[in-house]
Protein backbone atom coordinates (compact mmCIF):
# COMPACT_ATOMS: atom_id res chain seq x y z
CA UNK A 1 0.00 0.00 0.00
CA UNK A 2 2.84 2.42 0.83
CA UNK A 3 4.49 2.14 -2.58
CA UNK A 4 1.14 2.41 -4.32
CA UNK A 5 0.20 5.51 -2.31
CA UNK A 6 3.55 7.12 -3.07
CA UNK A 7 3.14 6.38 -6.76
CA UNK A 8 -0.38 7.83 -6.71
CA UNK A 9 0.87 10.99 -5.01
CA UNK A 10 3.68 11.28 -7.54
CA UNK A 11 1.24 10.89 -10.38
CA UNK A 12 -1.11 13.50 -8.91
CA UNK A 13 1.81 15.92 -8.55
CA UNK A 14 2.91 15.18 -12.12
CA UNK A 15 -0.59 16.02 -13.34
CA UNK A 16 -0.55 19.19 -11.22
CA UNK A 17 2.72 20.24 -12.88
CA UNK A 18 1.33 19.54 -16.36
CA UNK A 19 -1.72 21.64 -15.70
CA UNK A 20 0.39 24.37 -14.09
CA UNK A 21 2.59 24.58 -17.20
CA UNK A 22 -0.51 25.00 -19.35
CA UNK A 23 -2.12 27.51 -17.00
CA UNK A 24 1.01 29.63 -16.49
CA UNK A 25 1.73 29.59 -20.22
CA UNK A 26 -1.79 30.92 -20.77
CA UNK A 27 -1.25 33.55 -18.07
CA UNK A 28 2.02 34.70 -19.62
CA UNK A 29 0.88 34.82 -23.24
CA UNK A 30 -2.70 36.01 -22.87
CA UNK A 31 -2.25 38.07 -19.73
CA UNK A 32 -5.42 36.51 -18.38
CA UNK A 33 -6.23 36.93 -14.68
CA UNK A 34 -4.99 34.04 -12.53
CA UNK A 35 -8.39 33.69 -10.84
CA UNK A 36 -10.05 33.26 -14.25
CA UNK A 37 -7.48 30.68 -15.27
CA UNK A 38 -7.96 28.86 -11.98
CA UNK A 39 -11.71 28.68 -12.55
CA UNK A 40 -11.25 27.47 -16.12
CA UNK A 41 -8.81 24.73 -15.09
CA UNK A 42 -10.83 23.60 -12.08
CA UNK A 43 -13.87 22.99 -14.29
CA UNK A 44 -12.45 21.34 -17.38
CA UNK A 45 -8.84 20.22 -17.43
CA UNK A 46 -8.89 16.68 -16.01
CA UNK A 47 -8.14 18.06 -12.57
CA UNK A 48 -9.50 14.89 -10.98
CA UNK A 49 -6.09 13.33 -11.74
CA UNK A 50 -4.10 16.23 -10.31
CA UNK A 51 -3.07 17.29 -6.82
CA UNK A 52 -5.27 20.38 -6.95
CA UNK A 53 -3.64 22.03 -3.93
CA UNK A 54 -0.22 21.69 -5.56
CA UNK A 55 -1.56 23.00 -8.87
CA UNK A 56 -2.98 26.04 -7.06
CA UNK A 57 0.28 26.62 -5.23
CA UNK A 58 2.24 26.61 -8.50
CA UNK A 59 -0.37 28.71 -10.30
CA UNK A 60 -0.32 31.45 -7.69
CA UNK A 61 3.14 31.26 -6.09
CA UNK A 62 5.27 31.11 -9.25
CA UNK A 63 3.91 34.48 -10.50
CA UNK A 64 4.16 35.90 -6.97
CA UNK A 65 7.90 35.08 -6.93
CA UNK A 66 8.57 35.77 -10.62
CA UNK A 67 11.38 38.32 -10.18
CA UNK A 68 13.15 36.19 -7.59
CA UNK A 69 12.89 33.05 -9.74
CA UNK A 70 14.19 34.84 -12.82
CA UNK A 71 17.09 36.20 -10.76
CA UNK A 72 18.19 32.73 -9.61
CA UNK A 73 17.77 31.23 -13.08
CA UNK A 74 19.60 33.88 -15.11
CA UNK A 75 23.14 33.03 -13.89
CA UNK A 76 22.51 29.42 -14.94
CA UNK A 77 21.87 30.42 -18.57
CA UNK A 78 23.99 31.88 -21.32
CA UNK A 79 21.17 33.87 -22.87
CA UNK A 80 18.60 36.34 -21.56
CA UNK A 81 15.59 34.85 -19.83
CA UNK A 82 13.24 36.86 -22.05
CA UNK A 83 14.69 35.26 -25.19
CA UNK A 84 13.64 31.75 -24.16
CA UNK A 85 10.75 29.86 -25.66
CA UNK A 86 7.67 30.64 -23.50
CA UNK A 87 7.05 26.97 -22.70
CA UNK A 88 10.64 26.40 -21.59
CA UNK A 89 10.52 29.64 -19.59
CA UNK A 90 7.42 28.42 -17.78
CA UNK A 91 8.91 24.99 -17.07
CA UNK A 92 12.12 26.56 -15.75
CA UNK A 93 10.13 28.84 -13.44
CA UNK A 94 8.22 25.88 -12.01
CA UNK A 95 11.44 23.88 -11.61
CA UNK A 96 13.22 26.79 -9.92
CA UNK A 97 10.27 27.30 -7.59
CA UNK A 98 10.34 23.64 -6.59
CA UNK A 99 14.11 23.58 -6.10
CA UNK A 100 13.92 26.67 -3.90
CA UNK A 101 10.67 26.14 -2.00
CA UNK A 102 10.29 22.36 -1.87
CA UNK A 103 13.61 21.01 -0.68
CA UNK A 104 11.78 17.88 0.50
CA UNK A 105 11.40 16.90 -3.17
CA UNK A 106 14.66 15.32 -4.36
CA UNK A 107 16.33 17.60 -6.89
CA UNK A 108 16.58 14.67 -9.32
CA UNK A 109 12.80 14.33 -9.24
CA UNK A 110 12.33 18.05 -9.90
CA UNK A 111 14.72 17.94 -12.85
CA UNK A 112 13.24 14.70 -14.21
CA UNK A 113 9.71 16.10 -14.06
CA UNK A 114 10.81 19.33 -15.78
CA UNK A 115 12.60 17.38 -18.53
CA UNK A 116 9.47 15.29 -19.09
CA UNK A 117 7.36 18.45 -19.32
CA UNK A 118 9.81 19.94 -21.81
CA UNK A 119 9.65 16.77 -23.92
CA UNK A 120 5.85 16.91 -23.78
CA UNK A 121 5.26 20.62 -24.40
CA UNK A 122 8.53 22.20 -25.54
CA UNK A 123 10.64 22.34 -28.65
CA UNK A 124 12.51 19.30 -29.95
CA UNK A 125 15.71 19.89 -27.98
CA UNK A 126 14.26 22.11 -25.26
CA UNK A 127 14.45 19.30 -22.73
CA UNK A 128 18.27 19.33 -22.93
CA UNK A 129 18.36 23.04 -22.19
CA UNK A 130 15.90 22.67 -19.28
CA UNK A 131 17.97 19.79 -17.89
CA UNK A 132 21.21 21.77 -18.01
CA UNK A 133 19.79 24.94 -16.48
CA UNK A 134 18.03 23.17 -13.61
CA UNK A 135 21.05 20.97 -12.93
CA UNK A 136 23.23 24.10 -12.59
CA UNK A 137 20.59 25.74 -10.40
CA UNK A 138 20.32 22.68 -8.16
CA UNK A 139 24.11 22.72 -7.65
CA UNK A 140 23.90 26.41 -6.73
CA UNK A 141 20.98 25.99 -4.33
CA UNK A 142 22.17 22.69 -2.86
CA UNK A 143 25.98 22.83 -2.94
CA UNK A 144 26.17 19.98 -0.42
CA UNK A 145 24.95 17.48 -3.01
CA UNK A 146 27.59 15.24 -4.58
CA UNK A 147 29.10 16.25 -7.91
CA UNK A 148 27.74 14.54 -11.00
CA UNK A 149 24.12 14.63 -9.88
CA UNK A 150 24.49 12.05 -7.08
The residue ranges of DSSP E strands in 9-147, in sequence order, are none
| Mean pLDDT of all residues in 30-34 | 92
DSSP state of 122: S
Please state which architecture CATH assigns to domain 2-144. Orthogonal Bundle (1.10)
- Cα separation values, 110 from 10, 58, 93, 98, Å: 11, 13, 12, 7
pTM of the model: 0.89
Tens-digit pLDDT profile for residues 61-115: 999 999 999 999 999 999 999 999 999 999 999 999 999 999 999 999 999 999 9
Q: Which residues contact 18 (CB under 8 A, 6 or more apart)?
A: 50, 117, 120
* CA–CA distance, 78 with 80 (Å, rounded to integer): 7
Chain centroid offset of residue 132 CA? 14
- Angle, CA of 144, 147 and 150, to the nearest 5°: 85
pLDDT of residue 149: 44
Whole-number Å distance between alpha carbons of 95 and 48: 23
Amino acid sequence: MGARAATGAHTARSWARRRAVQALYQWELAGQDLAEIETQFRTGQEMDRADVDYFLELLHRVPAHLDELRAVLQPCMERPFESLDPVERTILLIGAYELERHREIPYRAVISEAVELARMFGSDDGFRFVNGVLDRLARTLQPERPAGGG
